[in-house]
């Protein structure tokens, strides 16, 4: 059992804890640290987590194997370096950092320390996404033409003024930083590295943050992908990849995978019944944390390698620049 500390106990930190606490035989939280202790005391007491005021004390504690960070994005580089220097394995909220330079600096510290780094792109671990990935990789989809996706949530409608998530320096391009980065990671995984990004970003309803973002990506292999994301509507998450042999897609919130084969001859033959696989009840947050725990134990490498983490940050930087300039931007 991996013994972890949670640093940052806002709504997402609590979501991470509740995904595994008392529900996993691979990872558990034994300590916590947060900026506002009073708001977390009852939560930690109920879950038998020792709430500590001193992060350095957590990093020096030999009884703690790993640190999970759900802290402001601008702090990730510093936090990763501190934990790496202390020899702690690290799991960090997305985006990893806000700039490529910061990402490289943090990853250099991880490499030097020889510890495991995981990043919380938990939807990559969902079995419905795994079904799409398998069909892309083994050729069952044929030649890939394009991918489309959407990610939505109501969080932007309810953010309090004091939340760091309302600071545009911490969450540039609103919905992109909040949830769109999951789709960037997803399309890097499914369609390969990205050469160019174009972004349109608006504020439609959220009082304190930009809430609606549309992105088009051109991949290095010629595939195109596009997605919409909003943090001012009902929660949803869908991904579809189109190939010459069929369409592989997820239903609402990834609960169902569907593969619809393309016809193999001209005309309009009777429709073939699609293949449907039900994945209701899967908690990808738990699956991601347990994949991290497996990597810490040495059972399997964490499935998001350093080069993909850096490339994801580079795409993020290009999207932020495109939103500011109104022009397509090449990925560095």
Annotate 170-212 with three-state secondary structure.
CCCCHHHHHHHHHHHHHHHHHHCCEEEEEEEEECCCCCCCCCE
What was the pLDDT predicted at 307? 97
What was the pLDDT predicted at 290? 98
**How big is the chain by its Cα radius of gyration, in Å?**
20
What was the pLDDT predicted at 152? 96
Q: CA-to-CA distance for 13 and 24, rounded, in angstroms?
A: 17
The 3-state DSSP class for residue 127 equals helix
- Helix-helix angle 127-137:181-191, to 10 degrees: 30
**Do the Cβ atoms of 296 and 302 come closer than 8 Å?**
no
Q: CA-to-CA distance for 22 and 66, rounded, in angstroms?
A: 17
Within 10 angstroms of residue 312's Cβ, the number of other Cβ atoms is 26
What was the pLDDT predicted at 46? 97
- pTM of the shown model: 0.95
> Which domains, and CATH codes, for the chain?
2-119 (3.40.50.720), 123-287+311-330 (3.30.360.10)
Strand 117-119 to strand 246-250: parallel, antiparallel, or no bridges (unpaired)?
A: unpaired
- Distance in angstroms between the alpha carbons of the first and the last residue of the chain: 40
Written as tens digits, the pLDDT of the chain (332 aa) is 999 999 999 999 999 999 999 999 999 999 999 998 999 999 999 999 999 999 999 999 999 999 999 999 999 999 999 999 999 999 999 999 999 999 999 999 999 999 999 999 999 999 999 999 999 999 999 999 999 999 999 999 999 999 999 999 999 998 999 899 999 999 999 999 999 999 999 999 999 999 999 999 999 999 999 999 999 999 999 999 999 999 999 998 899 999 999 988 887 766 778 999 999 999 999 999 999 999 999 999 999 999 999 999 999 999 999 999 999 999 98
- Please name every residue paired with 218 in a beta bridge, in sequence order, or none if there are none: 196, 224
What was the pLDDT predicted at 270? 61
What was the pLDDT predicted at 263? 86
Within 10 angstroms of residue 56's Cβ, the number of other Cβ atoms is 11
What was the pLDDT predicted at 151? 96
Burial class (CB within 10 angstroms; exposed 0-12, middle 13-18, buried 19+) of 256:
middle
What was the pLDDT predicted at 264? 82
What was the pLDDT predicted at 322? 98
DSSP 237: E
How long, in residues, is the chain? Answer: 332
Within 10 angstroms of residue 276's Cβ, the number of other Cβ atoms is 11
């Amino acid at each position: 059992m991996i013994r972890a500390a949670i640093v940052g106990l806002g709504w997402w930190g609590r979501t991470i804890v509740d995904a595994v606490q008392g529900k996993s035989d691979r990872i558990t939280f034994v300590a916590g640290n947060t900026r506002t202790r009073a708001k977390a005391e009852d939560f930690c007491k109920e879950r038998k987590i020792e709430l500590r005021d001193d992060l350095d004390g957590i990093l020096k504690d030999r009884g703690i194997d790993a640190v999970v960070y759900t802290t402001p994005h601008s702090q990730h580089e510093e936090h990763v370096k501190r934990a790496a220097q202390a020899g702690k394995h690290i799991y960090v909220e997305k985006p990893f950092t806000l700039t490529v330079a910061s990402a490289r600096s943090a990853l250099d510290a991880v490499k030097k320390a020889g510890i495991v780094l995981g990043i919380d792109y938990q939807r990559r671990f969902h079995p419905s996404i795994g079904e799409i990935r398998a069909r892309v990789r083994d050729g069952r989809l044929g030649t890939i033409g394009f991918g489309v996706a959407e990610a939505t949530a109501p969080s932007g409608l309810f953010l309090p003024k004091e939340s760091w998530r309302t600071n545009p320096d911490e969450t540039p391009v609103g919905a992109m930083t909040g949830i769109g980065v999951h789709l960037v990671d997803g399309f890097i995984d499914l369609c390969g590295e990205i050469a160019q990004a174009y972004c349109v970003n608006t504020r439609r309803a959220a009082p304190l943050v930009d809430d609606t973002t549309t992105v088009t990506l051109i991949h290095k292999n010629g595939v195109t992908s596009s997605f919409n994301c909003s943090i001012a509507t009902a929660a949803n998450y869908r991904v579809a990849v189109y190939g010459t042999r069929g369409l592989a897609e997820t239903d609402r919130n990834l609960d169902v995978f569907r593969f619809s084969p393309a016809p193999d001859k001209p005309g309009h033959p009777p429709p073939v019944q699609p293949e449907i696989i039900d994945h209701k009840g899967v908690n990808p947050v738990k699956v991601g944390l347990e994949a991290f725990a497996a990597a810490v134990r040495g059972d399997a490498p964490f499935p998001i390698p350093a080069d993909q983490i850096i490339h994801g940050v580079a795409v993020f930087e290009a999207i932020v620049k495109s939103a500011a300039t109104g022009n397509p931007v090449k990925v560095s």
